[in-house]
Amino acid sequence: MNATGKDILGVIRDHLNLNDYRKVHWEGSFEEYLDIVRDNPEVTRTAYQRLYDMILSHGVDDRQENKEKTTRYKFFTEFGEKHDDAVFGLDRILMQLVNAFKSAAFEYGTERRVLLLHGPVGSSKSTIARLLKRGLEEYARTDAGMLFSFRWKGPDDTWLKDPMHSEPLQLIPPTMRPAIIARLSETFGDKARYPFQIKGDLSPYSRFMFNERLAKYQGDISAMLANEIQVYRLILSEQDRIGIGTFQPKDEKNQDSTELTGDINYRKIAEFGSDSDPRAFNFDGELNIANRGLVEFIEVLKLDVAFLYDLLGASQEHKIKPKKFAQTDIDEVILAHTNEPEYRRLQNNEFMEALRDRTVKIDVPYVTRLSDEIKIYEKSFNTERVRGKHIAPHTIEVAAMWAVLTRLEQPKHANLTLLQKMKLYNGKSLPGFTEDNIIELKREAPQEGMHGISPRYIQDKVSNALVAHPDEDNINPFMVMHELETGLRHHSLITNQDQLQHFKELLQVVRQEYEDVVKNEVQRAIAADEDALSRLCHNYIDNVKAYTQREKVRNRFTGGYDEPDERLMRSIEEKIDIPDSRKDDFRREIMNYIGALAIDGKKFDYKTNERLMKALELKLFEDQKDTIKLTSLVSNVVDKATQEKIDVVKGRLIKYYGYNESSATDVLTFVASIFARGQTKK
């Protein structure tokens, strides 16, 4: 049945929460606001304190990584995922950023600095800023994050908002503040997380209104506050330009500093008679409207020098200078970001020394951990988003692998390849390398992740692969690798031939790694006959037991007793590189392991020993591959019996490894060609 307009409106009504609306849009007297402050002093927090508490409100995970403690802030992952903006693989960088917020929240000095996110293009700088802005918007709507501003009573019962959303307690004159702070502090007890204070003076507009109304009440501030002021709940919103500002440089010839600090409203000059009357001024620059929240400067170092002067005062003194007015107090987080060329220009410009001195630089590199890089692409390329196309296993993985390899620096360790270094970073253990070695590898390459291929390039090429093969029902690693390689010729950020050649060589490394992975998958699919594996394991264990106890093995066909089958045991052990000199030790280890399980009342299963399971699978594959005649796929001449066996293997690839019918066929054909190539070489 088709839904009517009434039905649809009913859905809207079901989602209405009028109590929540009234709470968020609360308004009351100045006296009622003082009661709120008494019960909840955190409503008066500074912008940095509110931002820091917002991040903590989403929770943290403390973890140990390579012997170093790392704090993962769930705000950047769980909250980010909810808004399709999660940041992966930058835990240490984000920890450094949040520590800067914490320092600023407790007023250790960072609150007087511009926080500058610096890194290559596409390294999540904008994403981090966007998340912080969105997080503040949502936090301001919660009980924990509420804050307030005020408005003045105007003619005809209208109310005129303070244009800079100032804190209502700024209405208390500086001479009276110590007494008010002392009286309120007595009631707080342990409720105040930060030292309670009233900072900053009123905006020029509210200062004018204050003095005008104070004269009306002949100096009675108490009566004026009771009758002329209405306090209201402030909801931060970038869309409405309330507490969240964003500034993006334009053409240098068209830049105007009034975009930051406001400008004269010429239409109102005639009404109020002077261009220095604050009522004839628009306090709507980005630094004005971002008061109480956060302002983001996109590509800050492209700003004209005149803009940077405004930025210096805004960060160091928390003041701005609107045209024709005295310096005005602001309370906001100044977050900027820039890329490497612009930052180098800042370092080389002696006139920028003052800005450099007031900047806390936080490097935001590309991800260097493969599993995190994969998560970045899985946000965009998954079964929910990519409809009608199957993404073959390892497609996203090979693209991510190549991207990470381009960002790593060649290890100085002679016995370590770039691919192995990537695997170590991804948590894989390699013989001869400890956690201390990984720490050392990272220390000897401090610029790692500050160069290489950006995630945007990978996303573009995966998108190309999705649309470039309309007749295929899947995309596979070869399609993506082809797009990655052909796109390099036109990549605007590749500046020399050596770099291009290096990236192409890394693609060959990824191809070889993929070849090894799918070979192993097909081998395991062929050898995935659990009954056959179990029989082979049972046979091997019987022989090992007889060998270690110097006994004979009962022949189940003749009923007699034979010597342990050395040829069988070695054919399995050689699959996992057990040398002849170590065979006795390995066999004793297996028997000790079985004995330890028996003591605990557990039965041995080949699946519980990963090395033995791998050896058995490889042995079974070797025994079965000739009966399956996989190489016949290459010649397209497949008899019925072989086809049935191949279909069984294909079914296992689909069931256990995530392939669909066509991608399983493709990978079997590819691996068959590898085997055929190997036989030709032999």
| pLDDT tens per residue across span 299-323 | 887 777 767 778 888 888 999 999 8
For residues 480-501, give the mean pLDDT: 86
| Final residue before a domain boundary, out of 469, 486, 503 | 486
- Is 623 inside any structural domain? no
Which of 233-242, 378-387, 388-397, 544-553 has the lowest average pLDDT?
378-387
89, 374 contact by CB (below 8 A) = no
Backbone angles phi, psi at 362, to 5 degrees: -125, 115
Q: Facing residues of 91 across strands?
A: none
What are the tokens at 106? 């407790």
Rounded CA gap, 441 and 448, in Å?
10
**Is the residue at 74 inside a domain?**
yes
Strand partners, 664: none
- Find the farthest-apart pair of alpha carbons in the chain and give their distance in angstroms, rounded: 119
**Per-residue confidence (pLDDT) for residue 636, from 0 to 100:** 58
Q: Residue 125 burial (CB < 10 Å; 0-12/13-18/19+)?
A: buried
Indicate if the pLDDT at residue 628 is higher than 60.
no
Per-residue burial over 36-64, b if 16 or more Cβ lie within 10 Å, else e, is bbeeebbbbbbbbbbbbbbbbbbeeeeee
Which pLDDT value is given to residue 679? 45
- Of 50, 44, 49, 23, which is closest to residue 166 (Cα–Cα)? 44
Q: Which residue has the tokens 């244009």?
A: 163
Tens-digit pLDDT profile for residues 616-625: 878 877 776 6
- The whole-angstrom separation of Cα 84 and Cα 74 is 14
Q: How far apart, in whole angstroms, are the C-alpha atoms of residue 131 and residue 112?
A: 22
d(CA 397, CA 403): 10
Specify the higher pLDDT residue, 60 or 433.
60
In this prediction, residues 579-593 reach a mean pLDDT of 87
Which range of 148-152, 306-310, 535-539 scores highest in mean pLDDT? It is 148-152
Q: Tell me the residue range of the domain where 462 lies.
A: 370-486
**102 in any annotated domain:** yes
How many CB atoms are located within 10 Å of the residue 562 CB?
12
Model pLDDT, residue 680:
37
Structure tokens that stand for 312 in this block: 């210096």
d(CA 155, CA 137): 32
Residues 466, 514: Cα–Cα separation, whole Å: 20
2 within domain boundaries:
no
- pLDDT digits over 436-452, tens only? 888 888 888 888 999 99
Q: Label residue 55 by pLDDT band (50, 70, 90).
A: very high
Q: Give domain status of residue 375, yes or no.
A: yes
Nearest by Cα to 290 from 245, 344, 254: 245
User: Averaged over 357-371, what is the pLDDT?
Assistant: 91
- Say which DSSP state 235 is in: -
Label residue 36 left, alpha or beta by phi (over 0 means left) and psi (-120 to 50 means alpha). Answer: alpha
Nearest to 71 by CA among 51, 99, 48, 49: 99
Mean pLDDT of 119-138: 93
Q: Which residue has the tokens 């950006």?
A: 454
Which of residues 85, 114, 132 is at a domain's end? Answer: 132
Give the tens place of pLDDT for each residue, 256-274.
778 888 999 888 888 888 8
Please spell the DSSP secondary structure of 86-125, one letter per residue. Answer: ---S-HHHHHHHHHHHHHHHTTSSGGGSEEEEE-STTSSH
Nearest to 628 by CA among 550, 507, 528, 510: 528
pLDDT level of residue 34 (50, 70, 90 thresholds): very high
Q: What is the mean pLDDT of residues 510-539?
A: 84
Give the model's pLDDT for residue 568: 87
pLDDT at 17: 65
Q: How is residue 86 written in tokens?
A: 């999660």
Q: What is the pLDDT of residue 347?
A: 73
Q: Are 118 and 195 in contact (CB under 8 A)?
A: no
Report the share of the chain in percent with pLDDT over 90. Answer: 43
Query: Is 63 part of a structural domain of the chain?
Result: yes
The pLDDT value recorded for residue 13 is 65
Q: What is the mean pLDDT of the chain?
A: 86
Distance between CA atoms of residues 490 and 477, nearest Å: 21
Angle value at C-alpha 428, between 427 and 429, nearest 5 degrees? 115
* Structural domain includes residue 411: yes
pLDDT at 157 over 80: yes
Of 486, 519, 547, the residue at which a domain comes to its end is 486
123 burial (CB, 10 Å; 0-12 / 13-18 / 19+) is buried
Structure tokens at 261: 């600090």
| Closest residue by Cα to residue 231 from 2, 372, 77, 34 | 34
What is the reported pLDDT for 488?
Answer: 87
Domains identified in the chain, total number? 2
Report the C-alpha gap between 498 and 323 in whole angstroms: 53
Q: Report residue 196 CA to chain centroid gap.
A: 34
* pLDDT for the residue numbered 161: 95
Write out pLDDT tens, residues 192-220: 789 899 999 999 999 999 999 999 999 99
Interval 118-124 mean pLDDT: 89
**Greater pLDDT, 586 or 243:** 243
Give the C-alpha separation, 386 to 382, whole Å. 6
User: What was the pLDDT predicted at 64?
Assistant: 72
Report yes or no on 89 lying in a domain: yes
- pLDDT top residue among 415 and 19: 415
